[in-house]
A and B are shown apart, each in its own frame.
Chain A
Amino acid sequence: DAGVIQSPRHEVTEMGQEVTLRCKPISGHDYLFWYRQTMMRGLELLIYFNNNVPIDDSGMPEDRFSAKMPNASFSTLKIQPSEPRDSAVYFCASSFSRSRYEQFFGPGTRLTVL
C-alpha cells in the first residue's frame, strides 16, 4: 500500500514568492495533519483536518499560511508570501480513527526560502 505522498520533496524559492506544498494521505484515513520541523522549534503541529474539515489551526504561525483539503485524497499548505524564516521541513501525516491511533508521516518537503 502506498504511504503518505508529499510533493515536492525539495523546494527552493525566493523571499516573497508563493509556495504550495501538496499531500496525498493514505487511502481511507480520515485525519490529516500538517507539521513543521526546525532545529530551533522541533516538530510543531500547524493544522489538522477530520473528514476534510479543519479542526484546529491554532498552530498556523500567521496569515501568510493557509491550508485546504478539497477532498479526502488531497491537501495543500500554502505560504504567501514566503520568508526566509519559513525554511523548514514540512511533514504531512494521516491517521484512521478506528486504528491504533498512530499517525503515518510522509517523507516531508524540505523548503528553503532565500
Chain B
Amino acid sequence: AQKITQTQPGMFVQEKEAVTLDCTYDTSDPSYGLFWYKQPSSGEMIFLIYQGSYDQQNATEGRYSLNFQKARKSANLVISASQLGDSAMYFCAMREGWAAGNKLTFGGGTRVLVKP
C-alpha cells in the first residue's frame, strides 16, 4: 500500500489565487512527521513546511499552510496568493518515528503551473 498519496498529478492556478494540494498518508505509528517540498524546474528540493503528528495547530510558513486533518490522515498544502514563481513540482513526504534520521517516504508529486 502507498504510504503517501498525492492524487493530483498536475493543476493550473491563476496568479494571486490560492491553491490546495492534496496529500493523504498511511501509518500505524502514532508519532510521525509530515513535510512538503518544492522542486522547481531547476531541480533542487526546497523544504517548505513541517507538521508533527502531535502538533495541536496547523503549521504555517509565510504563504504556505498545512491543513492537517489527523482523523482523515490528510495533510494538504495550501499556497495563498499564488505567484508565477510557485510553478513547480510539490512533494509530500512522511517520516515515521521521531528521530531526525528516520527516512522520508515521498509521494508522487503534484505539478503546479501558475498562469498570469
Residues in A lying within 8 Å of B, measured CB to CB: 30-31, 33, 42-43, 45, 48, 50, 55-56, 89, 91, 93, 95-108, 110
A33 touches B103 (CB 8 A): yes
Are A50 and B101 interface neighbours, CB within 8 A? yes
Report the Cα distance A42→B37, complex, angstroms: 14
Chain A residues with CB under 8 Å of B100's CB are: 31, 95-99, 101
The smallest C-beta distance from A48 to any residue of chain B, in angstroms, reads 6
Q: Which among B47, B95, B101, B107 is the interface contact of A97 at CB below 8 angstroms?
A: B101
Instruction: Find out whether the CB atom of B45 lies under 8 angstroms from the CB atom of A105.
Output: yes
B68 at the interface (CB under 8 A from A): no
Contact at B109–A42, with CB atoms within 8 Å? Answer: yes
Q: Does the CB pair A55–B91 fall under 8 Å? A: no
Smallest Cβ distance from A87 to chain B, in angstroms? 15
| Besides A91-B45, A105-B45, A108-B43, 17 other A-B contacts (C-beta < 8 A) | A33-B103, A42-B106, A42-B107, A42-B108, A43-B91, A43-B106, A45-B104, A56-B103, A89-B43, A93-B45, A95-B101, A96-B100, A98-B100, A100-B50, A102-B47, A102-B50, A105-B47
Q: How big is chain B's contact interface, by range?
A: 20 to 34
In the complex formed, the residue of B with least CB distance to A3 is B44
Closest to B102 in A: A101
Cβ distance B65 to chain A, nearest Cβ, rounded Å: 16
* B-chain residues with CB within 8 Å of residue A106 when the two chains form the complex: 44
In angstroms, Cα B104 to Cα A103, docked, is 9
CB distance A48 to B101 under 8 Å? yes
Query: How far apart are B96's CB and chain A's nearest CB, in angstroms?
Result: 12
Report Cα–Cα, A45/B37, bound state, in Å: 15
Residue picked from B35, B100, B107, most chain A C-beta under 10 Å: B100
**Chain B's nearest CB lies how many Å from the CB of A33?**
7
**A107 contacts B44, C-beta separation under 8 Å:** yes
Cα(A43)–Cα(B37), bound, Å: 12
CB-nearest residue of chain B to A99? B100
* Complexed CA–CA distance, A45 and B4 (Å): 14
Measured CB to CB, the nearest residue on chain B to A106 is B44
Q: Which residues of B contact A102 (CB under 8 A)?
A: 35, 47, 50
Produce 1/0 per residue, B78-116, CB < 8 A to A: 000000000000010001001111011111110000000
